[in-house]
Structure 1
């Protein structure tokens, strides 16, 4: 279906809201091709100053990855790649005037850095991502942590280090909940975090915190309301993952519905109480609350913007949505595109190509999701997944070193899209050198 604004005029204003995997890759490619030459006026609106690939947040939380070695500075990146970075959080939309409303940006002390602003657009791309869905469970907002942002991951890691140091210097016996971690949700994020924590907690206490016995004092419990962990993967891989987690000492409880999160643990619907000093909510997905029916756009029950196969919103052809915030039909199937990083990256590539078609006055093409499967990292212990389902017409289950290589390659593809081959290679070499001279776990 042709876009109403086909055959774009020079200086056409493209505003991309959200600097996650999809939004940043789209801004980078559009900036490189059209922004540098002044053909398009491209802006990226993002509340954070730096970008980190969201599937890496569990590694930052556990301390196995130093965020500073992997983050991308938006201001520098925009300067190098021909787009403008506008700091701030979108809070509203005026479709009639084609304006995005951006909240004031405040520093850590509450002082205003940028005032509330209005940014005009000709084409708007919403790539705002998703957040956890707590389904209104009592106590989650007050007593549970989430892993939705860099700040969340850093806050979790600080709480973990503090818990280890507190237990090390404590003279009295540990309280029932002390040094206990409960992770609610055994999807990819929950499983990966549990596996990483098994290793990093032991490495942390090895640096002189001999007042803690990791085998006896530290306990990690993984809760899942469904019948098995990793319910989106084939049952054999779920069983293999649960067995490996058990060997690591991670307790997994399935069919465990959480009724309430308390200051000292979690209460299940069947009456069981699980003590915990740190609780992480990693279950459920929804788009940000402010998107719900924003200025008349169609949204679904989890606040996702409903889009056509062209990625245009159903009620405004000048507004596109991609990634986790978009409810996109899976062409050829009676299903929706799953909220995965690979989908956001594919949609960014597709939309970049559509800008070329619009420049040439050609109609837009439909986006076709290609399912390359799912991979779940269990740290250095293993990687499991099913690969290339969309290529071979089925599901090929993989484990071990080959799966690990494929998992790492997904991140390298993201780095290549942002930086090009030369910088991505140099960054990788620099990290390898640094890793030989610093602790393998972040201690602060």
Structure 2
């Protein structure tokens, strides 16, 4: 039989995880949010056709922003507008996308969610439906296209061309809103598609507003962790009061604020914060019924772990020496590309200067070089490498000096000469 407190914790844990994962409230970037709202609102209210791209890095909140705007326009979608969602990872070609559009718009040739007819027939039918409406009386159609750049690889970009073409006509009002992380997405559009796009681009970057501010981050944590007064949650009133008081104290705690600032310095996106919150909240139990800054620090330290440093630590002494030789080459020649012969000469210069270093044969060194390439610590330059002998093919180093220094520092049992080689100035 569960105790009352245990039941409170179980219900709280479930509530908090749901709130963290499904909280669609968008914080910050009010200007961009208003731009998207005005764009969609004009299409719905005034019958004004539009097209736009929302561009920003992964984790910047593009989808959350759009969902927040759509939520505020929810009342219109019952009678005045139709929402059609497409996703580049799901709708992998125009045929699949067109079936989804027809189904979501509840058109006549969609029966029980299944669409009949050839691609050409369906496209002609869809365009006839879109072009038959009158601007003043037709329902507006909002197309939200996620991973927009993937649609650019579809054959002839047929669907994009026709959607943009309709958005320029004075018939059924439609708004095409593409969401992408590709800054060069306009260059991916074919000339005929580009000519029909409005070239309206809205950029959403991390750290500009709301993302790099500790006060904003603490405000967001309040939304995630506090129990609202109107929340449908089966816990006792006294437990609810105690929990909210505990969260208020936690958010004011200096050590907790320092931990949150440390997380912001690592990652401005909200994704890492949510991942950490889910783990920490999942650890709540009857014996561990409070959140502590120590629990957050443990998760932040996990996030700080650099996988590349771990890979470097697992290298053999020879492979690590070659990486250090590459680092010195980059220091001397200002990050210019290198080939195997350059690295070999630099390594042999070091090995010959230290009598304690064992002499290694050339084929063994070549094998170690290839292993470094297989681990993707270096990458081959595609340009100018065709037909060149393997030893003279150009590579660039993908490892930072700080990562090499950290790996050398953490690796136990390294010969003193290697440590000195890594820490030495230009050789």
Same fold, judged at TM 0.5 (above): no
Larger radius of gyration: 2
Flag the structure with higher strand content. 1
TM-score of the two chains, using structure 2 as the length reference: 0.30
Flag the structure with higher helix content. 2
